[in-house]
A and B are shown apart, each in its own frame.
Chain A
């Protein structure tokens, strides 16, 4: 019988949502189940000293609803976890506000600690309009109800707190995403505006060369050529900076899809041939097929390989060679670009992935951002990248190797974070099909 009452209570509270409603359901169900005239709940304030009225039903007298009707000593005992039963309120010295009780027609009162024995959260009062008698077992039953109430309330409050934390996190992330969007569009605008004047000036210089080269002496022509080269370098730097910021800003999320390694390598090798042939450097490949499909950004992986090839071309003498290798290694695909060029001096080895680091700071070639961009691309795919110079097997040149895990669902976490719970499920469901969550697109000005 008593267990059934508890079950009733459990059903009532699970139907109620939110800690406040659960408290009401708990107190009302207990009151009803005990046949009480009315009830009230006072809970301890956060400081643990003040007892504040939280809720009441079936009682008109405001003193009974809001005031404390127990002398301090008895109150403390209940708060320590001992239920108190007063069968004759009118004659009991522990009870205060006797007139109010009389007007309300209250004869017996049960004071129940609300909450688990070790952590009493307040006092539940059940008011009876008749003289009640409770035996030891009754009181034990009431205690177990109080305990149950406490743990239900506790979990409801925890859930509420988590939900509000999650809401806050979602709001924060939405704001961050907005800011990121603004930042990226700001960047592309700035990039476009920075490049436009250079494009115009370079246009005039090229025009000058085309139309008037005959009238200029050799040194002037050379100077104009240098000007064009310097401006190209500046434009490259602006593009690289934009690139870095976009990688940093998570722009690449839009580019993830299921891609074939073989296609990525095919396209990259073709472009590598073009790049290298300008310097009479040969490109050979050692690709161990078959290579698996991965969830990744094909554009970025191609860019990564080309970055490495273009570094090699820059540091390899005419007639040199570049080898691009790829093979599957356990759960990853390992790709390397090796050259027989001038290599990296030992003192530079530790710094090559740092932004703006150039082996020769005076060199006007390259922006010093290529390898840090490469490293970021590898990072976003949860891979590893390393550079060896000289190549151990040949004793010359440089080899940069990177590995990208096969089963990687790169940056999915960020999509989950950005999109909240629904995207957690969405991300899992989407798996490696590469559905685009965020279609934000920014011009590469």
Chain B
């Protein structure tokens, strides 16, 4: 990772009012839901996925569209390091927002006299951590393929297809839907991991493999990318 590029990306993301507004919305919405919910409980990972998608949308693609990435690549900076720095910045912001959201959720639950065990909080935190890092990795990968906000389109298309397949009452369609959802938002089923007496390697390797593959594809695509205005 290159620290100056990481810090600069953090500043860049924090200077975008639309992105920040959307991030605040995705963080506050589950809190509002908790306030009015007659049976309040710690929310699902859905909003953590949304936060990760919003924070990382266009993380590479927008830089390719504006041409600023070409200037970076004339500098002593490998493309892999550039990717890692951009990934880290998007993940930092996503994790920070996720943490704020979770703290708010716990505060609201406590204010409503709902008992929340430390284990439940730790599980929710770990669950969301894996979802956020996984989703940011996939978005960075998609962003190397598509210019501007094309990664958002790819992510949305995968989710739409997954939801459509999931609606078909057949086992194979359901499996395909689950697979696609795991590609768009990789997650580690911690309940399964913790309940099993033996570590479910398929679950762990599935998650780690998806992220490793996404990183490898992103680096490969970026290294092959030609960045001349003349080629556009």
Partners in one complex: no
